Amino acid sequence: MKLIVVGDTLVSSETLIDAAKDINFPGKTGDLEIKTFEWFSDLKKEQFQEKILEIEKNGPEKVAIPDGIIEEMKDADYVLVHIAPISKKMLEAATKLKLIGTCRGGLEHIALDTMKEKNIKLIHVIRNAEPVADFTLGLMFTETRNIARAHYEIKKGNWRKSFSNDEYKTVLTNHTVGLIGLGYIGKLVAKRLNALGVKVIAYDPFIDKTKIAAEGLRIDFLDFDEVIKQSDILSLHMRLTPETENMINKDVINNMKPNSYIINTARAGVLNKNDLIDALKNKRIAGAALDVSWVEPIEENDPLLDLDNITLTTHIAGDTVDAIPRAPYLLKNVLNDYFETGTSDMLIKFK
């Protein structure tokens, strides 16, 4: 049985191999043959961020793949990666490939259409789901209660106590939070909101509602339009796909309450930038908080910077000291559970 491991600057091949040694691959007899590759593992973290942005923007077909990996893919049974590309060419070369395991937030690095065509399983462990869920909740407090704006004004020498959302300010439990997308992160956000006594509504056409109920989560499932209309805080947790790109646009925003907020810790592309700016300028909604940007770093003349009803952070929702080092071991646990039970919330269901 053959496993390919591709390390990078953030998740080393050594860590992936260490985790792989304890994975109970089906049909494994004897020693596991492991072929190791590196994807820009020699870069410093700051330089590697440029590679991450490149693959997130352009996908796996537009970036370099490790030398020699095509040949090794031909008889590989499994592949484990963090953010290294899994391109169409790599997948087309594979004749025995059963499953790919990846441990990062998005799936922009994988040729998903080819995965579907070849019926190759994909296990996707979001290594920083807990940090992102915490951060999402933090943005809800920060935006609705003007925490960052008050701090910013103090630093400028102003003792500001009045803000653009003054007529809407209230405690979180008076808000209804609508979640668009109820994957792993969305469920963790819902769990936190449940604990705080906040009403949660959600839209996700692919979720098994009976499983959500069995997990003890209190969520009212509504159709998309109703979630938009009823939410005081709309929190986005869907993957960026051709179907979800610009999903939250002018037509959607115009159906939101004037006292409502948009929180985005998913991907910038699910939200139409110009429509959001127009809505915030004209106070059609109360505010927004974004940890993702259409261009990183945000440009100096970006019109978002002129708005007084938005909170911006630098794509740091998942950035904690323990999230990345734990990633391969989370993947190991999920894979073992999947191989034992034949099912997993982390198994990607292709449309």
Residue 127 confidence (pLDDT): 75
Calculate mean pLDDT across residues 317-345.
Answer: 90
Q: Which of 109, 127, 149, 267 is catalytic?
A: 267
- Please tell me whether residues 103 and 152 are part of one structural domain: no
Model pLDDT, residue 126: 83
Model confidence at 351: pLDDT above 70: no
d(CA 233, CA 237): 13
**133, 259: one domain:** yes
**Of 82, 109, 239, 315, which one is the catalytic site residue?**
315
Based on the fold, state whether residues 173 and 206 are members of the same structural domain. Answer: yes
The domain total for the chain is 2
Do 24 and 133 fall within a single domain?
Answer: no
User: Is 245 annotated as catalytic?
Assistant: no
Q: Which residue, among 204, 199, 196, has the nearest Cα to 177 in the 3D structure?
A: 199
Asked if residue 96 and residue 157 are part of one domain, the reply reads no
- The enclosing domain of 274 has a CATH number of 3.40.50.720
Residue 191 resides in a domain: yes
Residue 137 lies in a domain: yes
pLDDT single digits (tens) 93-149: 999 999 999 998 789 999 999 999 999 999 999 878 899 999 999 999 999 999 999
Same domain, yes or no: 156 and 62: no
Residues 147 and 264 placed together within one structural domain of the fold: yes
For residue 41, what pLDDT is reported?
96
In a domain, 351, yes or no: no
Q: Provide the phi-psi class of 147: left if phi over 0, else alpha when psi is between -120 and 50, else beta.
A: alpha
Let me know whether 97 and 141 are in one domain: no
Catalytic residue, chosen from 145, 296, 299, 300, is 296
213 and 258 part of one domain = yes
CB count within 10 Å of CB 154 equals 11
Q: Report the alpha-carbon distance of residue 347 to residue 339 in Å, rounded.
A: 11
Give per-residue pLDDT as tens, 4-40. Answer: 999 999 999 999 999 999 999 998 877 889 999 999 9
User: Catalytic residue at 296?
Assistant: yes
Position 208 scores a pLDDT of 87
Domain for residue 16, yes or no?
yes
Any catalytic annotation for residue 127? no
| Shared-domain flag, residues 136 and 169 | yes
Q: Is residue 209 part of a domain?
A: yes
User: Which range of residues forms the domain containing residue 48?
Assistant: 2-128+320-341
Q: Is residue 105 part of a domain?
A: yes
- Asked if residue 116 and residue 167 are part of one domain, the reply reads no
Is the same domain home to 287 and 330? no
